[in-house]
Amino acid sequence: MFPSFLPVRAEQLTEGTSITLAQNIQRQSIATPLSLQPIDTAFVQQGQGGPPIVLLHGFDSSVFEFRRLLPLLAESQETWAIDLLGFGFTDRAVDLSFDPESIKTHLYYIWKTCIGQPMVLVGASMGGAAAIDFALTYPDAVAQLVLLDSAGFAKGPAIAKFLFPPLGYLATEFLRKPNVRQQVSRKAYYDSGFVTPDAELCAALHLELPRWSQALIAFTKSGGYGFLSDRIAQVSVPTLILWGRQDGILGIQDADRFHQTIAQSQLIWIDQCGHVPHLEKPQETADHLLTFIRSA
């Protein structure tokens, strides 16, 4: 029923959007200069018509983050959700580095191999920082940029100072605890009713893949996207900033800061919504996103 690389616990999914996304996750071997061996890269692709929309998830997440948004977008356009290097269900080979530069290179070769035309690049939380970094390096590959409660101005994950042996392992094991992840999920939503057993399973399935802990430690110790804030003003593509009015993870100050810093940007607030509008208000998020694309 599900791809073989998904953990057996995927059989416990109950919500229709979660089950459908799980059934449609694929892996493709992507050749890159990062490794002698191609990287088995996880993604979901649905829909037809351009420009293609590419969705990038947040920190310690996966394509399951877009289980509600992706099918709404795919009704009218080609839509991809991709697991970034070091995250989700993309392979974490021993010889790979897990840092922003490697993530960007891997994403470029996915784009070059599978997409090959200017895309609408959509990034949620940390995925927004990854999208900005990619757009600055490969502007010809990005037609429009969409930031969903995006990271980018912070100087790096606070947890980084704890990630040295043996505390690196202990810190990730702490993050693995179901009660800890549930607390984070509750803080991410305005309506805590969204924190269902199905949602918790979607947020935790990727933890069961090999080298999850090692990759998370390596990425965090790299400093993440702490280098990015001084470069955000260089973004030159049309940019839509969508922000949950009640974001309890990043707060709301950076929404206006992105809007003021990026010249060709517009800011839209989503009311009664936390850090994950693509999960909490997927239809409204899709409507704003598609309107922005069509206005170009």
Does the structure show a pLDDT above 60 at 161? no
Number of other CB atoms surrounding residue 38 within 10 Å: 16
Does the structure show a pLDDT above 50 at 162? no
Cβ-Cβ contacts under 8 Å for 19 (sequence gap 6 or more): 13
Average pLDDT value over all residues in the chain: 93
Distance from first CA to last CA of the chain, Å, rounded? 40
Q: pLDDT above 90 covers what percent of the chain? A: 85
* Cα–Cα separations (whole angstroms), residue 140 to 119, 225, 237: 9, 22, 10
Where does the pLDDT of residue 1 fall: very low under 50, low under 70, confident under 90, or very high at 90 and above? confident
Does the structure show a pLDDT above 70 at 209? yes
Beta pairing partners, 31: none
Does the structure show a pLDDT above 90 at 165? no
Rounded CA-CA distance 207/188 in Å is: 19
pLDDT tens for residues 68-79? 999 999 999 999
Number of Cα atoms under 13 Å in the Cβ half of residue 179:
0
**pLDDT at residue 296, as a whole number:** 80
Where does the pLDDT of residue 175 fall: very low under 50, low under 70, confident under 90, or very high at 90 and above? confident
Number of other CB atoms surrounding residue 19 within 10 Å: 17
Q: What average pLDDT does this structure show over 33-53? A: 96
In order of their start, the domains of the chain are 8-295 (3.40.50.1820)
**Tokens 């996880």 — which residue?**
42
Rounded CA-CA distance 104/131 in Å is: 9
**pLDDT at residue 180, as a whole number:** 78
Lowest model confidence (mean pLDDT) among 21-35, 152-166, 194-208, 231-245: 152-166
Q: Give the global pTM.
A: 0.95
**pLDDT at residue 136, as a whole number:** 98
Kindly tell me the burial class for residue 176, based on how many C-beta atoms sit within 10 Å of its own C-beta (0-12, 13-18, 19 or more): middle
pLDDT tens for residues 246-275? 999 999 999 999 999 999 999 999 999 999
CA angle centred on 37, ends 34 and 40, rounded to 5°:
90
Does the structure show a pLDDT above 90 at 232? yes
Lowest model confidence (mean pLDDT) among 19-28, 38-47, 175-184, 227-236: 175-184
Q: Spell out the alpha helix ranges (H) of 145-246.
A: 167-176, 178-188, 197-204, 212-221
Higher pLDDT, 87 or 169: 87
Q: At what angle do helices 100-110 and 126-137 cross, to 10 degrees?
A: 70
**pLDDT at residue 166, as a whole number:** 52
**pLDDT at residue 163, as a whole number:** 47
**pLDDT at residue 109, as a whole number:** 98
Does the structure show a pLDDT above 90 at 168? no
Q: What average pLDDT does this structure show over 22-31? A: 98
Number of other CB atoms surrounding residue 114 within 10 Å: 16
Rounded CA-CA distance 257/272 in Å is: 21
Does the structure show a pLDDT above 80 at 138? yes
**Closest C-alpha among 50, 124, 118 to residue 81:** 124
Higher pLDDT, 168 or 127: 127
**pLDDT at residue 159, as a whole number:** 47
Does the structure show a pLDDT above 80 at 279? yes
Beta pairing partners, 124: 148
* 173 alpha-carbon distance from chain centroid: 22
